[in-house]
Amino acid sequence: MSLKTLIIVFVFSCVVSCSQVKNKQGSLVYVESPRLNLEEANRLSHLPLYCIDVEYPYRLGQTLGGPEDLLSPKTLHPAFYGCFDWHSAVHGHWSLVRLLKQFPDLENKELIKLQLLESISKENILKEVSYFDEVHNASFERTYGWAWLLKLAEELHNWEDPVGKQLERNLQPLTDLIVLKYISFLPKLNYPIRVGEHPNTAFGLSFAWDYAVSVGADMLMTVIKERSKDFYLKDQECPIIWEPGGYDFLSPCLEEAALMKRVLAPQIFSKWIDGFLPQLKDAGFTLEPGIVSDRTDGKLVHLDGLNFSRAWSLNVIAKDIEQYSHLNTIANLHINYSLPSVVGDSYEGGHWLASFAIYALNSINYQ
């Protein structure tokens, strides 16, 4: 699919405005700016609401200590047993919380609250904690699932609703455990993991940082800032032209840049980004969305997720820096490519992509 074709997209019920960006040939093209409104929120909410109590198919990611560990997903993970795997179940819950906060008149709002209370009960969360306490699964979901758990905790912390406060209290033992795991693990990680999938260190640190800032977790903030500098401060000329890999749903270069935007002072970040991704400052910079060839393939559909995560990283980088405002348009281009396919997609993408779409839409820096 050509870049010209990508520009002319239909973004369902989003209210749109237009901005311009140059294509590879140097011609100006118009890009619609998607916005998350109630109708789009209702559309996206159907995916996590459907899957958070769908037990099978499910990928456990479990290390077996013996035959006694061969239990059903719901027995092992009574809170997060749906949506194909643990981390997708976690961010499916995050999606519903986020949408309820933004749109109090969301369809099925009472059903969603009941589902959240049933999943994130005190008893269920204590069982989730006990799973992490097992010797063979101490590193379970490190750090991708950890990051989404803290993103869920952050969202609940900032939700001024009685249900939200109850859910935050119920989740707290697992939240506290994950915070301790970060603080224990990061000093032992000698080298960052620079991949486009789950183990990516920069992604895991970014979401954990957001949580720490939101709740005032000073110790967690300190260790994240220190390790981010250790890992990335000397990096230069990230090879973004090598991206994306065939299965990527994260951009190693852009995730790192978005993390450093969070943890560095503005003047230090400005100098660092000039050495790390100097091309971003060029108003003619182009970055084509990842092209998905088969959305029924659970790995190939990762590229839809890449488009959303690229968008939120670009928007973080551009926020409050006029020199990078053109990156917002490139972010919109990426969202517009993948958003129409999220609903109606096969389960391979449908069980997780709504969360990525919601987070990307919420990252847009509206002018």
Domains in the chain, CATH or no CATH each: 3-362 (1.50.10)
- Give the pLDDT mean for 214-218: 98
Give the confidence band of 7 by pLDDT, cuts at 50, 70, 90: very low
Residue 345, CA distances (Å) to 304, 329, 342 in order:
11, 25, 6
Instruction: List Cβ neighbours of 325 (8 Å cut-off, separation of 6 or more).
Output: 318, 365
pLDDT, greater one: 121 or 16:
121
Tokens of 249: 């749903």
User: Which 8-state DSSP code applies to residue 297?
Assistant: S
What residues form DSSP beta bridges with 241?
A: none
Give the confidence band of 4 by pLDDT, cuts at 50, 70, 90: very low
Is residue 51 predicted with pLDDT exceeding 90? yes
Give the confidence band of 21 by pLDDT, cuts at 50, 70, 90: low
Residue 217 phi/psi, 5-degree rounding, is -85, 85
Cα distance between residue 14 and residue 280, in whole Å = 27
Q: What are the tens digits of pLDDT across the range 217-250?
A: 999 999 999 999 999 999 999 999 999 999 999 9
State the pLDDT at residue 352: 95
Q: What are the tens digits of pLDDT across the range 299-351?
A: 999 999 999 999 999 999 999 999 999 999 999 999 999 999 998 768 888 89
